[in-house]
Amino acid sequence: MSLDWSECPAVESIPGKVSGAWVLKGTRTPVKVLFENLEAGMTIEEVIEQFPVTREQLDSLMAFVARSLEKAPSHG
């Protein structure tokens, strides 16, 4: 499933900034890197310590993902 990040208010993609990757607004932290670290077992607290992001930014990001998953078609 592919998310439409353009609908997420917590992120931005600016040509020439981090190669146009989706990053948390006001940072150079790619969304992909955050999820890779969470998948690798980091906690939200560890992510906040390692990257220049706030709990509010991560909460907004996770809320967007959760809403997107609710809209996803069910296979079953």
The number of residues making up the chain comes to 76
Helix (H, G, I), strand (E, B) or coil at 11: strand
**Structural domains in the chain?**
5-71 (1.10.10.10)
- Give pLDDT, residue 25: 94
Distance between CA 38 and CA 47 in Å, rounded?
8
- Give pLDDT, residue 3: 82
pLDDT at 74 over 70: no
Phi, psi of 47 (to 5 degrees): -65, -45
pLDDT in tens, 12-60: 999 999 999 999 999 999 999 999 999 999 999 999 999 999 999 999 9
